[in-house]
Chain A
Amino acid sequence: MHDTIPLSPLIHVVDDDEAVRSSLALLIGTVGLRAQTWPTPEGFLAGFDPEGVGAVVLDVRMPGISGLAVLETLIARGVDMPVIMLTGHGTVDLCRRAFKSGAAEFLEKPVDDDILIDTLQQALRRHVASRARVTADRAARQRYAQLSGREREVLGLIVEGLTNKEIGRALALSPRTVETHRANLFAKLEAASLAQLIRHYACLVEAGGP
């Protein structure tokens, strides 16, 4: 497997208070994470990279757009970054609305540094894992697309557990030809073993068909 995460994750800190912004950025920096601060929600929505790996630390109460509205915008745009809401005085109602809108976590100010860091790291782990899965799926799909029609037929029968001899009989090919197709297909799909091949491509064969 290739490392699909190009850089360390980027944490977006959105808060209208300069002191809060910079102190949170400093704290986040101490655990080796990169932080980017945004003084206004509008600036953040316009400037951040939704494709990047990271998380958002969002103040609920800000002038202009409220934190909840920002959260809803992010979800509507399909941004998959985890959003951690921070609030001065959290009510049960506010908390419920935040979670309903898709917040990953809801923390009360002043927040304990350990709790914030732990929350961030857990959210990032889940985010990176889901991103890796998505990336892997995408790569596999691209490689599968390179296969010829005959190779896909052969792959389908391999996945079903047929031997070369049986595949040759089924497709009316000589065992040697089957052997050639099999070698090409392993190369194109960058599979190191039969087990890996089946794990990554069985679902594509079933979905795409021969």
Chain B
Amino acid sequence: MTFVRAHMRWIAGALILCLISSAWLVHAELQRARREFETQAGIVHRVLSLRAVEHEAILATLALLDTPATAEAAHRLPAIYPRIVTVLRTERTQTWAHGTLGMELSRAEASSRSAGRAWGLVSGMEQGRLWLVLAGEAASHALEIDLAGLVTDAEWPFAIDAPVRIDLMHGGHRWRIHSGADEAGGWRFGFNRPLDVRSQPFDVVAERSVGWDELPWAQMLASSAVLIGLMAGAAALAQQRIARRRAEELLRLGQVGRLNAMGELAAGMAHELNQPLTAILANTGAAVRLLRDEPPDTETARTAMEAAAGQARRAADVLGRLRRSVERPGGAERVQVVDLRAAAEAVLHLLEPRLREAGVRVGLEGAGDFRVQADPIALEQIVHNLLTNALQALLRVPATERRLTLRLANDGARASLTVTDSGPGIPAAQRPRVFAPFYTTRAEGLGLGLSLCETLAASMDGQLELLEASGRGAAFRLSLPRVSGQGMRA
């Protein structure tokens, strides 16, 4: 739960992106399905129109070639066109044979005669039948057509089990000529166009339903997975940057804190030492004056000098007390097994943005086992100080010449880290004093960094030294006691 709370923004962002991408994919898929459906419906409409024209043509042909011989042949029509169920022929003087149907056929014949074209009789639609009547000079013909057979299974422009329904409609009556699977819910597309054949005045109504299972789930899942992966990567990167900034801030705070403490210490020390020094100066001054007198007051002068000596001892006590209080308590207890290489890498990682900004080429050399006995915090501080100093030095040379090399080495009982920079180096005159407290070559420096580092190194039984300059730049080497073998892990 804490994970969710800590990363709420990223999670919400990822969810929103996934939703947007999925919605877009669904939209695209529906568009595609609609275009496909409209094409298919158009094909169905064209096929049905063709059929209707064919029926008229058959009737016209029958009327044209109306002889007893052709009348025989007409009875074979259903064998050629399976959708034609029955072919009837009636002499002009006769009536249609069947009862109710006969009356309706007669009416249709009359309509056909007055219209001069084939006449459709839709009353049989409930049974899926259509009668088409054409009145002729000598005899009239009627065709009974099976609506369900208008389009054969192979002719549908979509899979036979596709969720598409095709209806023919006329005057509120509907005859389904194809029923596909009907999906509940989801989306529906519609198509409605009349047949442009006047004898068979149907509307072709098509409906396509898109079910949930037709959505591009795999693509949606894949795109979401990619997006979540990207977001997680970005979050991790941001997290890493924050963590690094925090670590740097902590290190800087630590240094500021130490400086503040030192300021306090200096103020306290000044007060504690000023009192005895004031007394010493006043006493010795008085003694000098008393001895200068004629005759000299040696007795009082001696008392003054004794008082001065007492005050000098008091000043010495102050310093002794101070030193004891500053000594790091239990410094040896914090020493543990530390990987010198990992420590160097951690500080490099911390300073990486600043090094990159300055265009410094960084090299970390040396392979092997560099486990040492050290206080991890002190070690990090020393390395950080050395690298910061090197960076400061490198900023004084052109960017193309900025090179920083960290070299790890094992030297028997000790492991060492040598930090070499390609900066201006340290002038020979300053070399002996680099570790002296309050000695600095930088205007804004306090001159305590290297001094503190040396003290820290010494407290861990280590050593920090300035190496002889070989060519340009400066090289500092920190060496620490190694951990030998597995036995010292504990």
A interface with B by C-beta (< 8 Å):
17, 19-20, 22-24, 26-27, 29-31, 61, 86, 88-89, 109-114, 116
Chain B residues 266-283 with CB under 8 Å of chain A are 267, 270-271, 274-283
| Cβ-defined contact, B270 with A23, below 8 A | no
| Cβ-defined contact, A19 with B285, below 8 A | no
Contacting chain A: which of B76-84, B126-134, B303-311, B355-363?
A: B303-311
| Cβ-defined contact, B271 with A23, below 8 A | no
Write the nearest CB–CB distance from B302 to chain A, whole angstroms. 12
Nearest neighbor of B293 in chain A, beta-carbon distance = A30
In the complex with contacts A19-B311, A31-B289, A24-B282 CB distance below 8 A:
yes
| Cβ-defined contact, A89 with B274, below 8 A | yes
Tell me if B300 counts as interface (CB < 8 A to partner A). Answer: yes
| Cβ-defined contact, A29 with B267, below 8 A | no
In the complex with contacts A30-B290, A110-B281, A113-B285, A88-B274 CB distance below 8 A:
yes
Q: A24-B278, A26-B300, A30-B289 are in contact. List 18 more A-B contacts (CB 8 A).
A: A17-B279, A19-B276, A19-B310, A20-B278, A20-B279, A20-B282, A23-B279, A23-B282, A23-B286, A29-B286, A30-B286, A88-B271, A89-B274, A109-B274, A109-B278, A110-B281, A112-B285, A113-B288
List 12 A-B pairs, Cβ < 8 Å. Answer: A19-B275, A19-B307, A19-B311, A22-B279, A26-B283, A26-B300, A27-B282, A29-B286, A89-B267, A110-B274, A113-B282, A113-B288
| Cβ-defined contact, B285 with A110, below 8 A | no
CB neighbours of A31 from chain B (8 A): 289
Write the nearest CB–CB distance from A94 to chain B, whole angstroms. 13
CB neighbours of B284 from chain A (8 A): 113
Nearest neighbor of B276 in chain A, beta-carbon distance = A19
Which residue of the partner chain, among A22, A109, A114, contacts B285 with CB atoms under 8 Å? A114
In the complex with contacts A29-B286, A113-B282, A113-B285, A23-B307 CB distance below 8 A:
yes
CB neighbours of B308 from chain A (8 A): 23
In the complex with contacts A23-B307, A27-B285, A114-B285, A109-B290 CB distance below 8 A:
no
How far, in angstroms, from A20 to B314 measured CA to CA in the complex? 12
CB neighbours of B275 from chain A (8 A): 17, 19-20, 88, 109
Nearest neighbor of B282 in chain A, beta-carbon distance = A23
Write the nearest CB–CB distance from B185 to chain A, whole angstroms. 81
CB neighbours of A88 from chain B (8 A): 270-271, 274-275
Q: Which of A19, A22, A31, A89 has the most CB of B within 10 A?
A: A19
| Range, interface on chain B | 20 to 34
How far, in angstroms, from A27 to B307 measured CA to CA in the complex? 12
Q: Which of B271, B279, B289, B290 has the most CB of A within 10 A?
A: B279
Write the nearest CB–CB distance from A29 to chain B, whole angstroms. 7
How far, in angstroms, from A109 to B271 measured CA to CA in the complex? 9
Write the nearest CB–CB distance from B5 to chain A, whole angstroms. 49
- Is chain B's binding surface mostly helix, strand, loop or mixed? helix
Nearest neighbor of A24 in chain B, beta-carbon distance = B282
Nearest neighbor of A31 in chain B, beta-carbon distance = B289
How far, in angstroms, from A31 to B289 measured CA to CA in the complex? 8
How far, in angstroms, from A31 to B300 measured CA to CA in the complex? 14
How far, in angstroms, from A68 to B285 measured CA to CA in the complex? 27
CB neighbours of B271 from chain A (8 A): 61, 88-89
The 7 closest A-B pairs by CB, nearest first: A113-B285, A23-B282, A110-B277, A30-B289, A19-B279, A27-B286, A88-B274
CB neighbours of B314 from chain A (8 A): 19
Chain B residues 318-338 with CB under 8 Å of chain A are none
Write the nearest CB–CB distance from A113 to chain B, whole angstroms. 3
Write the nearest CB–CB distance from B147 to chain A, whole angstroms. 108
| Cβ-defined contact, A23 with B277, below 8 A | no
Which residue of the partner chain, among B278, B286, B290, B310, contacts A111 with CB atoms under 8 Å? B278
How far, in angstroms, from A110 to B276 measured CA to CA in the complex? 8
How far, in angstroms, from A27 to B281 measured CA to CA in the complex? 9
In the complex with contacts A17-B279, A19-B311, A23-B304, A113-B286 CB distance below 8 A:
yes
How far, in angstroms, from A109 to B314 measured CA to CA in the complex? 16
How far, in angstroms, from A30 to B297 measured CA to CA in the complex? 10
Nearest neighbor of B304 in chain A, beta-carbon distance = A26
CB neighbours of B279 from chain A (8 A): 17, 19-20, 22-23
How far, in angstroms, from A27 to B287 measured CA to CA in the complex? 8
Write the nearest CB–CB distance from A180 to chain B, whole angstroms. 57
| Cβ-defined contact, A26 with B282, below 8 A | yes
CB neighbours of A23 from chain B (8 A): 278-280, 282-283, 286, 304, 307-308, 311
Nearest neighbor of A112 in chain B, beta-carbon distance = B281
| Cβ-defined contact, A113 with B274, below 8 A | no
How far, in angstroms, from A111 to B271 measured CA to CA in the complex? 13
How far, in angstroms, from A22 to B306 measured CA to CA in the complex? 13
How far, in angstroms, from A188 to B304 measured CA to CA in the complex? 53
Q: Which of B280, B284, B286 has the most CB of A within 10 A?
A: B286
How far, in angstroms, from A29 to B290 measured CA to CA in the complex? 10
Nearest neighbor of B270 in chain A, beta-carbon distance = A89
Nearest neighbor of B292 in chain A, beta-carbon distance = A30
CB neighbours of A86 from chain B (8 A): 278
How far, in angstroms, from A116 to B284 measured CA to CA in the complex? 13
Write the nearest CB–CB distance from B155 to chain A, whole angstroms. 103
| Cβ-defined contact, A22 with B281, below 8 A | no
